[in-house]
Amino acid sequence: MEVVDDKLIGQLIDKTKKNSRGVPTMVFIDNVDAWIDKFTAEKLVEDLNQYLNKFKYMEAQISRHSEGVKGKIPDMEKALETIDYMEKKEKAKPLTVDYMVSNNLWAKAEVKVPESVYLWLGADIMCEYSMKEARELLNSNLEKAKSQLKTNETDLDFVRDQMTVCEVNIARVYNETVKRKQLEQAKKK
């Protein structure tokens, strides 16, 4: 029976190379024979599958976060357009708006152009802002959201690359195992 080194998990990743989220880089197993001799194929595949599952989980989390951010961007842009529209409107003339009374029931109202707006911040919090403050806040949040999307895309690419390295490593270990079994069977004949 072979002695299996329990420190395999730590050797499959390069802890010195990480991305912005701190996700480690997978090691490409270049000498599959040596790794199988040192750790056994079953242990290698098991640990590589653990990493693959972790990377899949990270990918799902980053994708979910990106979808949430993507959903907020149109709302921020629409709020900025509304502020633009209200600032261009003459103060003396009333503003005609359509608002929803209930599902499928809309009403028209004439309101004076407001000096301030209320922004829904989430978690049941709404705050009043001047037009200038609201524009600054929305522009800042919009830029942060777009920046976060770019960062998420970069992180997704990195995680997907690590998943590919994992899958290639698993395939190479599996292929080497098959090759060894074939050689063993050929020797028995």
pLDDT in tens, 61-89: 999 999 999 999 999 999 999 888 888 87
More confident residue, 29 or 2: 29
Is 156's pLDDT higher than 90? yes
Q: Rounded mean pLDDT of 156-182?
A: 93
Euclidean distance between the first and final Cα of the chain, in Å?
25
Identify the band that residue 4 occupies on the pLDDT scale cut at 50, 70 and 90. Answer: very low
Is 2's pLDDT higher than 90? no
Q: What is the pLDDT of residue 40?
A: 87
Distance CA 27, CA 67 (A): 30
Contact partners, residue 116, CB within 8 Å, separation at least 6 = 128, 129, 130, 131, 134
- Helix ranges restricted to H, the chain: 8-11, 32-39, 41-88, 131-188
Identify the band that residue 111 occupies on the pLDDT scale cut at 50, 70 and 90. Answer: confident
Q: Rounded mean pLDDT of 149-163?
A: 95
Q: What is the pLDDT of residue 122?
A: 79
SS3 at position 154 = helix
Supply the pTM of this predicted model: 0.77
Identify the band that residue 138 occupies on the pLDDT scale cut at 50, 70 and 90. Answer: very high
Identify the band that residue 7 occupies on the pLDDT scale cut at 50, 70 and 90. Answer: low
- The candidate with the shortest Cα–Cα distance to 164, out of 26, 21, 70, 36, is 26
- Helix ranges restricted to H, 107-130: none
Q: What is the pLDDT of residue 8?
A: 63
Q: The tokens of 95 are what? A: 């503003």
Distance CA 66, CA 51 (A): 22
Q: What is the pLDDT of residue 127?
A: 92
